[in-house]
Structure 1
Amino acid sequence: MPADPDPKDHRPRVAAERRARMRKRLIESAMIVFAQRGIGASVIPDVIAAAGVSQGSFYNYFRTNDDLLAAVSDALSHDMVQMIESVVGDIEDPALRVATGIRLYLHLARSYPVVAQFLSGTGLSLVGKKSSVYEYLPSDIKEGLKRGTFDEASADVALDMVAGAGVIAVHRMAQGKTTKDYPERIVRAVLRSLGVSAASATKLTSAPLPKLVAPPESLLEKAQEKLTEMAEPSNLRA
């Protein structure tokens, strides 16, 4: 009968923590590479180089581009949803919840260029039933329909309209400067397409938003920090 594990043996915990750090490092590097190159070609060699790991080490964690893309998407979605839900989770009005959530999403993308570049570079490949849009908005839209806030004729395509508007808006912000109220203009257009009156759409997008700042160890902060370091001239980093 094998002996019980030594409760003082910290090696399994240390090994697990090391693996978690390496996986996180690869995901951060992959996000930057996807942001710069999109998904049209194999990014694995570039991710290995950016992370400074061996090919063998890399393949202990991921096998394909799709594996990497899914891992980055999941991690980014988790970070962004946590931050946004901390604000919208207690909002009682479903229309205000939808408006505030989309506004925060767009402002986050503009505040973190690496996020906008990643989402723009990956484009429609991340739009689907596994995205946070399809996970969180259906219940808000159904509640809005029950209250008569949203137009029932638009409900069946509401999620696609929100997702499509988000993709285009983030792409435009990644490509260049947009007006300060650009996210609000996008959200007003989305609300109008859902049957919300012009006056109500303006009111729903006029309240001040809290400035969301990602935790220091989040993917948003770490990837943005790494991208900024990569962009600095070598003499400034020395």
Structure 2
Amino acid sequence: MSTSEDPTAPSGRVARRQRRNRDALIRAAGAVMTEKGIDAATMLEIAERADVGAGTVYNYFKSKDELAVAVLEEMMHDLAVEIEEITVGFEDPAQVYAFGVRTVLHTATTDLSWKQMLYRSEVIADALFRRMGPFAIRDLRRAAQAGRFQVPDAELVWRLTAHAIVGVSLAITTESVPPGAKDEIVVRLLCMTGIGADAATDLAAHLPIDQIAKNPR
């Protein structure tokens, strides 16, 4: 069959081009929004940085806000991969999960890109659940299998945790909750795993905070 007769060839090329354009727009938006902030960034500037037509950006994202969410989702996935790389040598699966929770809370309250989007808490919480979920849910299940956590429904626990992290991060950035409460917040989030307050406190107290601080993303 010739290329012209292959119905999948054109669509394959189109799909690849669309993927490249979308990826380029997300990268460009991330760079521009980091430099200038979400409010000051313009779709025209982002399109120019991505080397696509000014109108092309709207073929992929309906608004700058939607594009900002896409940027943050990619950052969430990158953070999940970074946490996995840092914790690869951890022997306790419960510590792996706890480290991830503490790192996400730290990032959400210190990284400008995250902080700028927290006002859309419901959208961001859903994005956090979806993008970091495969990693967090896996870690919850491993800790439960090791007898460290009591988690009959790991997906539900992570959903509750994701929403709680976003909500309390917004409270911290708006100064409704003091930043110094982060350690206590982590303990309460870990209590959702069924380990009890004392065990959660001990687990949180032995996290390598220095590694979290060096990898804020």
Query: Per-residue CA shift, 1:45-87, capped at 9, x if unaligned?
Result: x622664849x73333443237624531332123322332232
Matches within 5 A, 1:81-100: 81-100=80-99
Query: Are 1:59 and 2:59 counterparts?
Result: no
Change (3 A) 1:129 1:50: closer
Cα drift, residue 140 of structure 1: 1.4
Whichever residue aligns with residue 53 of structure 2, its letter is S
Provide the C-alpha distance between the structure 1 equivalents of 2:150 and 2:26, rounded to a whole number of angstroms: 45
Change (3 A) 1:87 1:198: same
- The secondary structure found in structure 2 opposite 1:74 is helix
Larger helix proportion of the pair: 2
Matches within 5 A, 1:1-238: 24-29=27-32, 32-33=37-38, 36=39, 47-48=42-43, 51=46, 53=48, 57-63=53-59, 64-65=62-63, 68-69=67-68, 71-118=70-117, 120-126=118-124, 127=126, 131-153=130-152, 155=154, 157-176=156-175, 178-207=177-206, 208-209=208-209, 210=211, 211-213=213-215
Deviations 1:106-159 (CA, angstroms, capped at 9, x unpaired):
1122232332222x1332213158723311112111122222322245645211
Seen in structure 2, the aligned counterparts of structure 1 residues 52 and 158 have a Cα distance that, compared at 3 Å, is: closer
Q: In the superposition, relative to structure 1, how do residues 87 and 154 fare at CA in structure 2: closer, same or farther (>3 Å)?
A: same
| RMSD (CA atoms) | 3.5
TM-score (norm 1): 0.63
Kindly indicate whether the alpha-carbon contact (under 8 Å) linking 1:94 and 1:144 is maintained by their aligned counterparts in 2: yes
Instruction: Give the partner amino acid of 1:48.
Output: M
Cα distance change on mapping 1:181 and 1:201 into 2, 3 Å: farther
CA distance in 2, matches of 1:183, 1:167: 13
Cα pair 2:108 2:169 within 8 Å, conserved: yes
What 5-or-longer segments of structure 2 have no aligned partner? 1-19
From the superposition, tell whether residues 194 and 102 of structure 1 become closer, same or farther in structure 2 (CA, over 3 Å): same
- Alpha-carbon distance in structure 2 between the residues aligned to 1:111 and 1:198: 26
Among all aligned residue pairs of Structure 1 and Structure 2, give the percentage whose two residues are the same amino acid: 19
Structure-2 residue corresponding to 1:226 = none
Distance, in Å, in 1 between the alignment partners of 2:215 and 2:181 is 20
Q: Match of 1:212, as an amino acid? A: K
2:10 alignment partner in structure 1: none
Report the counterpart of residue 14 of structure 1 in structure 2.
Answer: none
Are the equivalent residues in 1 in contact too, given 2:172–2:179 (CA < 8 A)? no
| Distance of 1:68 and 1:53 partners within structure 2 | 15
Contact 1:116/1:173 (<8 A) preserved: no
Matched residues in 2 for 1:182 and 1:53: separation?
A: 42
**Against the structure 1 CA distance between its residues 140 and 81, is the aligned structure 2 distance closer, same or farther, given a 3 Å change threshold?**
closer
Deviation at 1:91, TM superposition (A): 1.7
Query: What are the superposed Cα offsets for residues 174-217 of structure 1, whole Å, 9 maximum, x if unpaired?
Result: 21275444222222112212211222111111134122246xxx
- Aligned equivalents of 1:153 and 1:70: distance in 2? 31
